[in-house]
Amino acid sequence: MEPVAEGSVTGGSVSEGSVTEDAVTEDAVTEGSVTEDVTALRRFNRYFTRRIGVLDDRYLGQDRPLGEARLLFEIAESGSGVSLRDLRVRLGLDAGYLSRMVKALEAQGMVRLGMHPDDSRLRTVEPTSAGRAEVAEQNRRADALVSGLLQGLAPDQRRRLTDAMATAQRLLRLAAVNVTPVDARTPDARACLDAYAADLDARFPEGFDPSDLVGPEEVSGDAGTFLVAYEEGRPVGCGALRRTAPGVGEIKHVWVHPGARRLGLARRLLDALEDEAVTRGLTVVRLDTHAALTEARSMYQASGYTEIPAYSDHVYAGHWFEKRLG
């Protein structure tokens, strides 16, 4: 039972920060040349960072650079306390650099350090009353800065800018997601499958039996593969491929976390599974989906899949699809 359009679930498989000026992967740059996309993004980054004051060591006129200001904001947004480990993962910071910034904020009286109540090995940080007041002032100044930037635009131009920024954020999030093969027995893989099964159980009129999930041995080694999508270190999606006959594979359990839907991640997982099938010498991939999931059929057809007669007696299948790989 396989992928569906993002924001929904299929029977057998799918439900569905900021960028620095030089955030460019080696794959994006060819020998001796830079793509137009890379040049355009870097040009925008240079312009935008200058306009919002990133280069100033007194961001928004307060007594700290942007890095410390952003860290203080994240700490305050976390409420009563957040672990340094969570902050490091969320912001993608080096442990030593994070520690130095936290100590600087502590010396300014903005935050206080402590121990995690359930794990003494984890250090936590929370805002002081002065820190909360500072973030409130920081937000006021940031609102004023943005209002000033938008003042020269007409209402329809503001809407266009807002839509463009939403699109840019969505695509940058998708670009930052890492899709990688994992052992299907790992906690991340099992957590994705458990969430997938819960989604199907809530969506299908007849419910969903978790025993229908593929076993780890079906998607390991020569038999197949299991992919997990990670966003900022957190598993936010999965998909499986298993070999069913010589040259033929079946895609299973494509799922995307609710918080990562509508990014295009289901399609990216589907593409990654197809690439894996080609690497394994498969020439055909198949999948099935529940009859109620009309959006799934649209996604498959848009991805080059053709509806075919039933190739299995899968209890949750109502439609079967096939795609021949180049």
User: What is the structure's pLDDT at 246?
Assistant: 96
**Hey, what amino acid is at 53?**
G
Distance between CA atoms of 125 and 129, rounded to whole angstroms?
Answer: 13
Distance between CA atoms of 7 and 27, rounded to whole angstroms?
Answer: 30
Specify which residues 300 forms β-bridges with: none
Distance between CA atoms of 83 and 295, rounded to whole angstroms?
Answer: 40
The distance from CA 258 to its chain's CA centroid, rounded to whole angstroms, is 10
User: What is the structure's pLDDT at 11?
Assistant: 39
Length of the chain: 326
pTM of the model: 0.79
Mean pLDDT computed over 277-290: 96
Reduce the DSSP state of residue 151 to 3 states and report it: coil
Tokens 């996309």 sit on residue:
37
Give the pLDDT confidence of 233-253 residue by residue, as tens digits: 899 999 999 999 999 999 999
Tokens 């912001």 sit on residue:
91
Specify which residues 179 forms β-bridges with: 229
Judged against a pLDDT cut of 80, whether residue 31 lies above it is answered with: no
Task: pLDDT band for 33, please (50, 70, 90 cuts).
Answer: low
Under a CB-based contact definition with an 8 Å cutoff, are residues 30 and 214 in contact?
no
Under a CB-based contact definition with an 8 Å cutoff, are residues 3 and 270 in contact?
yes
Q: What are phi and psi of 78, to 5 degrees?
A: -75, -10
Burial label, 317 (beta-carbon count in 10 A; 0-12, 13-18, 19+): buried
| Tokens, residue 244 | 């069913």
User: What is the structure's pLDDT at 160?
Assistant: 96
The DSSP call for residue 260 is G
| Tokens, residue 145 | 């800065």
User: What is the structure's pLDDT at 249?
Assistant: 97
Give the pLDDT confidence of 202-242 residue by residue, as tens digits: 999 999 999 999 999 999 999 999 999 999 889 999 999 99
Mean pLDDT computed over 280-308: 91
Alpha-carbon dihedral angle through residues 179, 177, 38, 56, given to the nearest 10 degrees = -150
Give the pLDDT confidence of 45-64 residue by residue, as tens digits: 898 888 888 888 888 888 88
Task: pLDDT band for 4, please (50, 70, 90 cuts).
Answer: very low
Listed in sequence order, the DSSP H helices in 178-325 are 187-203, 265-279, 294-302
Reduce the DSSP state of residue 170 to 3 states and report it: helix
User: What is the structure's pLDDT at 222?
Assistant: 94
Judged against a pLDDT cut of 70, whether residue 19 lies above it is answered with: no
The DSSP call for residue 21 is T
User: What is the structure's pLDDT at 10?
Assistant: 42
| Tokens, residue 5 | 């359009």
Mean pLDDT computed over 274-299: 92
User: What is the structure's pLDDT at 24?
Assistant: 41
User: What is the structure's pLDDT at 59?
Assistant: 85
Long-range CB contact pairs, 37-46, < 8 A, 24+ = 45/19, 45/20, 45/21, 46/21
If one compares 287 and 233, the residue with the highest pLDDT of the two is 287
Rg (CA), the chain: 24
Burial label, 93 (beta-carbon count in 10 A; 0-12, 13-18, 19+): middle
Distance between CA atoms of 96 and 91, rounded to whole angstroms?
Answer: 13
**Hey, what amino acid is at 107?**
A
The distance from CA 198 to its chain's CA centroid, rounded to whole angstroms, is 20
Work out the percent of the chain whose per-residue pLDDT is above 90.
67
Task: pLDDT band for 79, please (50, 70, 90 cuts).
Answer: confident
Give the pLDDT confidence of 147-180 residue by residue, as tens digits: 998 999 999 999 999 999 999 999 999 999 999 9
Distance between CA atoms of 60 and 72, rounded to whole angstroms?
Answer: 14
If one compares 119 and 186, the residue with the highest pLDDT of the two is 186
**5-14, 45-54, 77-86, 154-163: which range is least confident on average?**
5-14
Under a CB-based contact definition with an 8 Å cutoff, are residues 241 and 250 in contact?
yes
User: What is the structure's pLDDT at 56?
Assistant: 82
Tokens 């029977």 sit on residue:
11
